[in-house]
Amino acid sequence: MTADRAQRASSGPAASSALVAVTCDRFKKDRMMWSGGPASYLEALSLVGLTPVQLPTLAEPVPFAPVLDVVSGVLCTGARSNVHPTHYGHQESEAAEPFDHERDAISLPLIRAAVERGIPLLCICRGVQEMNVAFGGTLHHTVHAVPGLDDHSAVPQDDLDAWFALRHTVEVLPGGLLEPVLGREVKVNSAHFQGIADLAPRARVEAQAPDGMVEAISISGASAFALGVQWHPEHFIATDGPSRAVFDAFAGAVRAHAAGHRVAA
């Protein structure tokens, strides 16, 4: 073995960028079916020193156990699609569209497996909704139609900074996973029309909007970092301190996992 190969072999996980599995959407483009997602999530991971590895969403779910054997984190991204209502005991409705059945088939069991195996998990927008559903919770199909809740949606537009502009504050609940990361109050963006309704039995509310909308959850009893946020910290990670803090906290847990440790939630 050459000296440089010996150096690489002895350096261990901490010397290289830790791998994070990233969920993909399945969609039709240019007459073909694609698996992928916005680069903003991948760029955010790279910015905090992690290496993203996209887990493809195919017509038949790929076995993800071998991927979990080698990654040290899982990121469930946002998406234009919604979790199909049958996964939380509701009937299909036009208000709940669009759907991505193939993503449901891989993301829901992936989230449960990551928590079971103690792999750090960060879920964003659709991801936090998947997290709640994966552990037995339900969703509002249209948040703005629920009495007492505000309109949390945003109009898609070419000006992404306007689309994902910071719009309202959220109160971070004391004693949870998120308080040491963000403090007790933070301003976030809002670009979702679905949201958490009935909280999953294992879910803990980490933050909520002024109207009572659940904005962040963690999973009770998880042996590693397991956080879901309804907003989009990936968009302003380079310029907004709280957005960066969420990814830094996740990155710290991922590196601890890569080094053979566990960070308690």
Catalytic residues: 125, 232, 234
Cα dihedral across residues 64, 65, 69, 72: positive or negative: positive
Which two tokens mark 229? 């946020």
| CA dist., res. 173 & res. 185, Å (int) | 9
Specify whether the CB–CB gap between 199 and 217 falls below 8 A. yes
CA dihedral 51, 67, 220, 213 (to 10 degrees): 60
Distances (CA, A) of 198 to 132, 217, 225, 251: 9, 12, 22, 29
SS3 of 154, please?
Answer: coil
The amino acid sitting at 241 is G
192 forms beta bridges with none
Number of neighbours of residue 221 by Cβ within 10 angstroms? 9
| CA dist., res. 224 & res. 74, Å (int) | 11
Of 198, 203, 39, 22, the residue nearest 115 (C-alpha): 203
- Show the CA angle centred on residue 204, arms to residues 202 and 122, nearest 5°: 90
Which two tokens mark 260? 């053979």
